[in-house]
Amino acid sequence: MAQDWNGTVLGFEAPPEPVLGEMLGIRKILNDNGFTYNLGYLNEIGWNGGGGYNHDSHVAYIDQFALTFNQDLERWSAIPDARIEGNIVNRNHNDDLTTKRVQDPRVNFNDLTQESWGGQSITRLGWLTFARSFDDRRLTWRIGMMNKVQTFDQIIPCDFQLLSQCGGKSANSPDVEQLERSHLGHHACV
């Protein structure tokens, strides 16, 4: 008989209980009704001690919260493998070391000292889609406000913030980048 996996891998301990616990039973109610979510926080600090286009020392800071959620619709609509997927991001502090100190602002850039930047302090909808899978999940159909990150461009992790690599193949295409960030439409993935 198979045993339940406790999360221990290669000497790592099992994942801890959620930070907010069971939230007075709300977490279980949400999960029982097919609603799953992830609340993430990111902050980045960059420092220019000297050098660059502007030699003045500067510390740049940005932080953001992201709520990614998934609502299983199969249990409510009887449509096999149907779901609503969404992402909401709250970004604060539009402070980028590359554009403020490191590089000549008259020149286009293709590299960043910080991964997240731009878009000023803003709360925005990253994506909101209806999705359905077919053929044993080998084909996914999605419609709504999409972002390429949902399905494509996850080839190379962003451990290093080279625009030509971080985020995948379209990250170094500035003409297409604005169009691809999020757009209305549909696509199918095989």
Task: Please report the pLDDT score of residue 87 as a whole number.
Answer: 93
Task: Please report the pLDDT score of residue 99 as a whole number.
Answer: 78
Asked if residue 155 is part of any domain, the answer here is yes
Asked if residue 13 is part of any domain, the answer here is no
Asked if residue 34 is part of any domain, the answer here is no
Task: Please report the pLDDT score of residue 33 as a whole number.
Answer: 94
Q: Closest Cα partner for 47 from 39, 56, 59, 30?
A: 59
Asked if residue 108 is part of any domain, the answer here is yes
Asked if residue 33 is part of any domain, the answer here is no
Task: Please report the pLDDT score of residue 164 as a whole number.
Answer: 54
Is the pTM for the entire model greater than 0.75?
Answer: no
Domain count, the chain: 1
Q: What is the pLDDT along the chain (190 residues), one digit of tens a residue?
A: 667 766 566 666 666 777 777 888 898 999 999 999 988 888 888 888 888 888 888 888 888 899 999 999 998 898 999 999 999 989 887 777 887 788 888 888 766 676 666 667 889 898 999 999 999 888 989 999 987 666 665 555 555 445 555 544 444 444 443 333 333 333 333 3
Q: Cα–Cα–Cα angle for 120, 122, 123, nearest 5°?
A: 160
Query: What residues make up the domain containing 166?
Result: 39-189
Task: Please report the pLDDT score of residue 163 as a whole number.
Answer: 53
Asked if residue 90 is part of any domain, the answer here is yes
Task: Please report the pLDDT score of residue 62 as a whole number.
Answer: 85
Asked if residue 15 is part of any domain, the answer here is no
Asked if residue 28 is part of any domain, the answer here is no
Torsions phi, psi of 120, nearest 5?
Answer: 50, 180
Task: Please report the pLDDT score of residue 146 as a whole number.
Answer: 85
